[in-house]
Homo-oligomer: A and B are copies of this chain.
Amino acid sequence: MITGWRHPARLVVLAFLAATAAGTALLTLPVAAESGRSTGLVTALFTTVSGITGAGLAVVGTGSHWSLFGEVVLLALFQVGGFGIMTVASVLALLISNRLGLAMQLTVKTETNTLDLGHVRRVVAGVVSISLTIEAVAAAVLALRFWLGYGHGAGRAVYEGVFHSVSAFNSVGLALYPDNLVRFATDPWICLPIVAVAVIGGLGFPVMFELLRRHRRRWSLHTRITVPVYLGLMAFGTLAVLLVEWGRPGTLGPHGVGDKLLVGLFHGTMPSTAGFNTVDVAQLQPATLLVNNVLMFIGGGSAGTTGGIKVTTFALLAFVMLAEVRAEPSVHVMGRRLSADVQRQAVTVALFGVGIVVTATLVLLTTTSFSLDVVLFETTSAFGGVGMSTGITPNLPMTGQLLLVVLMFIGRVGPITLASALALRERRRRYELPEERPLVG
A129 to chain B, nearest CB (A): 21
- Is the interface on chain A under 10, 10 to 19, 20 to 34, or 35 or more residues? 35 or more
A421-441 interface code vs B (CB 8 A; 1 in, 0 out): 011011111101111111111
Stretch of A131-139, A165-173, A185-193, A358-366 contacting B (4+ beta carbons < 8 Å): A358-366
**Interface flag for A338 (CB, 8 Å):** yes
Contacts A287-B366, A303-B439, A329-B427 aside, 12 further interface pairs with beta carbons under 8 A come to A285-B366, A286-B375, A291-B362, A302-B438, A312-B440, A317-B347, A327-B422, A330-B433, A337-B432, A338-B435, A342-B437, A414-B441
Asked if A244 contacts B366 (CB within 8 A), the reply is yes
The binding surface of chain A is classed by DSSP as helix
Q: List 20 A-B contacts (CB under 8 A).
A: A1-B326, A285-B366, A287-B365, A290-B362, A302-B441, A312-B440, A313-B440, A320-B344, A321-B348, A326-B428, A328-B427, A330-B433, A337-B433, A337-B434, A341-B437, A342-B438, A345-B441, A349-B440, A416-B441, A423-B437
A316 to chain B, nearest CB (A): 7
**Interface flag for A340 (CB, 8 Å):** yes
Nearest-CB residue, chain B, relative to A369: B286
Q: Which of B325, B336, B345 contacts A434 (CB 8 A)?
A: B336
Asked if A100 contacts B437 (CB within 8 A), the reply is yes
User: Which one of A286, A317, A348, A349 has the highest number of Cβ atoms from chain B below 10 Å of its Cβ?
Assistant: A286
Asked if B433 contacts A419 (CB within 8 A), the reply is no
User: Which one of A317, A330, A336, A426 has the highest number of Cβ atoms from chain B below 10 Å of its Cβ?
Assistant: A330
**Interface flag for A196 (CB, 8 Å):** no
Interface residues, chain A, with chain B CB atoms under 8 Å away: 1, 4, 93, 96-97, 100, 204, 206, 220-222, 225-226, 244, 285-287, 289-291, 294, 302-303, 309-310, 312-313, 315-318, 320-321, 323-332, 335-349, 351-352, 358, 361-362, 365-366, 371-373, 375-376, 414-420, 422-423, 425-430, 432-441
CA distance A418 to B325 in the complex (A): 9
Q: Which chain B residues border A345 with CB–CB below 8 Å?
A: 324, 440-441
CA distance A331 to B428 in the complex (A): 12
Asked if B337 contacts A436 (CB within 8 A), the reply is yes
Return the 9 tightest CB-CB contacts between A and B, nearest first: A419-B441, A415-B441, A302-B439, A287-B365, A222-B438, A336-B436, A372-B373, A329-B427, A419-B440
CA distance A426 to B317 in the complex (A): 22
Asked if A335 contacts B433 (CB within 8 A), the reply is yes
CA distance A373 to B289 in the complex (A): 12
